[in-house]
Structure 1
């Protein structure tokens, strides 16, 4: 292990979305702490004693769900735990992304390492081996209702522990049997309660939420940058971003966005050129950027807050408190994350919705010096007309995806589990919407850069000028029609790679902007 690599202590440290991603990407090493190992062993011993005494405790020596009254003999408790992984592996659909499956492993280790689940150290060490060696199980994307935990996806995630299922190992999909043979390892024999502890929990929902937190922050920040460039291109006013206005309605997200825009427009020649123009006010898509982007940022902050609680919680069932107390409760229920993911999904969709409106605004030709459809020689050329068709389609698709999954519940397990969260669908939909938003923002970036060009040779603020130069390295100014899908692909790459954020941070560092300036550490704060 490199001496420069950070270490996170499972079961003891405070896990955030950023830290989970750092472990998944290999920049931080996850280890089970000594303190956690003592708690893990103690909890495992309690479960062994329960089996020995024969007192009925759900999931240890009873069946599952509607079979909770069926007593399991001492000789069969281990078979029960293996069978639950097999019988609950009923997922369908395409596999989830490898990184999300790896995040599920990481989140599960941390939850189990708290020492309330009865898991064995050897089992946790094997899961950690999968993380350290990038041997990531193949997990179908559909099949969880988000309560009694993410049963189906977690079952698939942990089939490799008992030698079953498939894994993605160094980019190659293989059977677990092949993997274990190559690694000279044997399948594990699960002890009492271990199978249930592995599959009861919210790690499918939470892993998706980790990715939503990351993608949404990048979209929020880049939307501010692109919005500022569009303001310059269309000669929008800076007054709606004055702090005096936002102090009178001090929503945290609104104030943050307004400060970002002011910072980006600082010392702009373009802005000063029309400071005394006759235009009284701008359309909402420019003027209300703080209120709309800010509301979406507030939703992101709420998701981040609740996700961190979940990442550091115990979410399986039953919970082993001590020798005298085991509790069969409902901490596996995904409702706390399901609802906030639905809120984030709506907030992300709105970010794309107002972006589409700014694109439309740029095409109208109502801003002095900027031609209709962002091209001077139109008629024979259609200009940027049809790019807005694409953003309209994406924005409309997102609106359809905004119906809250958590508003639905279908009873399962013969009525024993009569209210479920559907949070797994909330997480998948939120990521789908964000993928569409990235595409919309990419197209706005292209149109904003085109409008910005017509303000030359005037300069904007130093940051926006550098962002524009970076765009022009990938996408040239368009003076006649071409295959714009090629440009869009390059724009999407800029957004997905968070290039605009890196340019802002690079310029800030080069020019030694004061600490605590807007964008200072913008992307690391999750």
Structure 2
């Protein structure tokens, strides 16, 4: 895939997240060369420019002699390689590198093409630097994570080469790279930026849309398992409110239920209304979808943005210090994803609770025929409740927090990487909740035999049963639940829901 940073789409980002090959287009490489030449002219002209020939942060007023500019850039990377915690997932690191290429490819950062080539080689050779997940507050860029990325190219730290973690110096030799020696401005250009936060947030978003799609399928399955009403999904109701997500979700559930023998078997029943977790799916899930769509828009813009500092304008060799490195848009987007997915899991757990309660569902207690001797889905529902409660704690927004850093120079920060990491965990937890609902819904459907659910929901039911067979007695649940959770995160229960 040829990447045009000025015209990147959500679909392209989704493909890149999934492992698609990519490199900058020729126009981007020309812009990179022009910006590097501009830095050369600035240095030769003797102008004092932040990050080119000055110190950093509170030391911005310290002029650095020309003969020490290479040392300045090297020290910047080493001093900022100060992260802690578990390594970022390698697919997130890969996306982070590609996002850095996109930002540099706009031609306003001043790095040489040799830097682009080195980053591209990491992607091409599947050589992912080991980057600690903690240490960025999401302002002045994701300094520590990006410094660990670049320090690996300089021969420091470790690199995961196709699944084997080795010293960076050894991996550089294996993939044919000399240790990178940075030129003026390059160190700052490479560690200023929101690429770590954005990669983490996109990871949460893309996992989240898979969770969302599975939740729609599970919710429709549960409606049929409950012998619930399809009337709340009548398009006329949603059109009167006008919320786009609600309209979309109501149509999706109606489509999934279409052709169900179970549904038509109780059209004359006396039940007037179902519990909110069934009846209000369009309203709750639709609102979540609208939030995810808005987050997707923000992150798509950010993926191709210039977010380092200072920003170069090669046409007149101007370098302007600003604040594009501040990741507040990403922080808000990540927190939005977290809140939306928290609610997706929360309403799913309530449907599970209804299905396992014989007073509410009319089905056997805990969906097992011989209850008492057998506990059925009693404890899987407890696990779902635990995951939902954990998500409620994680959903508290990180974006409303700030703590001054760099001796007060960086006095307001975004906490975007923290928000994004929390959102990613919420997505995984919500996938576990949906897995339990799929088990419960499938079991409820089976109790209505010989009546069959709709053709589309039979397909969902078959996928569930391939991983969690029909049960009449207790068994070891954990492996089935984990397999279904993995299937949800793999996108096996629905197609992408975001534009």
Q: TM-score, normalised by structure 1?
A: 0.92
2:98 is aligned with 1:129: no
Aligned ranges for residues 7-26 of structure 1 at < 5 Å? 7-12=1-6, 14-23=7-16, 25-26=18-19
- Which position in structure 2 is the counterpart of 1:413? 406
Name the CA distance, whole Å, in 2 between partners of 1:216 and 1:355.
14
How big is the alpha-carbon RMSD for the aligned residues of Structure 1 and Structure 2? 1.4
CA contact (8 A) 2:125 2:175 kept: no
- Which position in structure 2 is the counterpart of 1:175? 167
Q: Deviations over 1:355-396 (max 9, x none)?
A: 110010001113565112111211222221111111111111
Name the CA distance, whole Å, in 1 between partners of 2:464 and 2:52.
59
Aligned ranges for residues 460-475 of structure 1 at < 5 Å? 460-475=453-468
SS of the equivalent of 1:398 reads: helix
Matching residue within 396, 400, 403 for 2:393 = 400
2:221 is aligned with 1:229: yes
Give the Å deviation of 1:21: 4.4
SS of the equivalent of 1:499 reads: coil
Matching residue within 359, 367, 370 for 2:352 = 359
SS of the equivalent of 1:337 reads: helix
Name the CA distance, whole Å, in 1 between partners of 2:455 and 2:18.
33
Name the CA distance, whole Å, in 1 between partners of 2:213 and 2:73.
46
Could you say if the C-alpha distance between residues 125 and 22 of structure 1 is closer, same or farther in structure 2, counting changes exceeding 3 Å?
same
Give the Å deviation of 1:470: 2.3
2:440 is aligned with 1:440: no
CA contact (8 A) 2:140 2:323 kept: yes
CA contact (8 A) 2:154 2:179 kept: yes
Q: Deviations over 1:214-236 (max 9, x none)?
A: 11111111101000000000011
Name the CA distance, whole Å, in 1 between partners of 2:406 and 2:215.
44
Matching residue within 141, 148, 153 for 1:149 = 141
2:238 is aligned with 1:246: yes
Aligned ranges for residues 493-504 of structure 1 at < 5 Å? 493-501=486-494
Name the CA distance, whole Å, in 2 between partners of 1:496 and 1:22.
15
Could you say if the C-alpha distance between residues 443 and 26 of structure 1 is closer, same or farther in structure 2, counting changes exceeding 3 Å?
closer
Matching residue within 455, 459, 471 for 1:478 = 471
CA contact (8 A) 1:137 1:166 kept: yes
CA contact (8 A) 1:90 1:152 kept: yes
- Which position in structure 2 is the counterpart of 1:511? none
SS of the equivalent of 2:306 reads: coil
Name the CA distance, whole Å, in 1 between partners of 2:204 and 2:128.
20
- Which position in structure 1 is the counterpart of 2:365? 372
Q: Deviations over 1:34-55 (max 9, x none)?
A: 2222211111111111111221
CA contact (8 A) 1:268 1:461 kept: yes
Q: Deviations over 1:272-324 (max 9, x none)?
A: 11111111100001000111111111110011000111011100000001334
Q: Deviations over 1:101-124 (max 9, x none)?
A: 111100000100110000101111
Matching residue within 25, 32, 35 for 1:43 = 35
CA contact (8 A) 1:17 1:213 kept: no
Name the CA distance, whole Å, in 2 between partners of 1:494 and 1:102.
23
Q: Deviations over 1:445-487 (max 9, x none)?
A: 1011111111111112111112212222221212111122232
Q: Deviations over 1:190-249 (max 9, x none)?
A: 110000000000001100121122111111111010000000000110000000100111
Single out whichever of 255-264 and 47-56 deviates more from structure 2: 47-56
Name the CA distance, whole Å, in 2 between partners of 1:262 and 1:42.
55
Matching residue within 314, 321, 340 for 2:306 = 314
Give the Å deviation of 1:18: 3.6
- Which position in structure 2 is the counterpart of 1:73? 65
Aligned ranges for residues 162-241 of structure 1 at < 5 Å? 162-241=154-233
Single out whichever of 150-159 and 384-393 deviates more from structure 2: 384-393
- Which position in structure 2 is the counterpart of 1:293? 285
CA contact (8 A) 1:52 1:74 kept: no
Q: Deviations over 1:67-101 (max 9, x none)?
A: 00000011111111111110000000000100001
Name the CA distance, whole Å, in 1 between partners of 2:421 and 2:84.
14
Q: Which runs of 5+ in 2 are unaligned?
A: none
User: Structure 1 segments of 4 or more deviating over 4 A?
Assistant: none
Give the Å deviation of 1:160: 2.1
CA contact (8 A) 1:232 1:270 kept: yes
2:251 is aligned with 1:264: no
Q: TM-score, normalised by structure 2?
A: 0.97
Could you say if the C-alpha distance between residues 418 and 237 of structure 1 is closer, same or farther in structure 2, counting changes exceeding 3 Å?
same
SS of the equivalent of 2:469 reads: coil
Name the CA distance, whole Å, in 2 between partners of 1:24 and 1:356.
29
Q: Deviations over 1:166-188 (max 9, x none)?
A: 11101100111101222343112
SS of the equivalent of 1:386 reads: helix
Name the CA distance, whole Å, in 1 between partners of 2:295 and 2:177.
40
Name the CA distance, whole Å, in 1 between partners of 2:361 and 2:128.
56
Q: Deviations over 1:484-510 (max 9, x none)?
A: 223212322321222222xxxxxxxxx
Name the CA distance, whole Å, in 1 between partners of 2:17 and 2:426.
23
2:88 is aligned with 1:115: no
Name the CA distance, whole Å, in 1 between partners of 2:33 and 2:43.
16
SS of the equivalent of 1:168 reads: strand
Single out whichever of 442-451 and 380-389 deviates more from structure 2: 380-389
CA contact (8 A) 2:357 2:366 kept: yes
Matching residue within 388, 403, 416 for 1:423 = 416
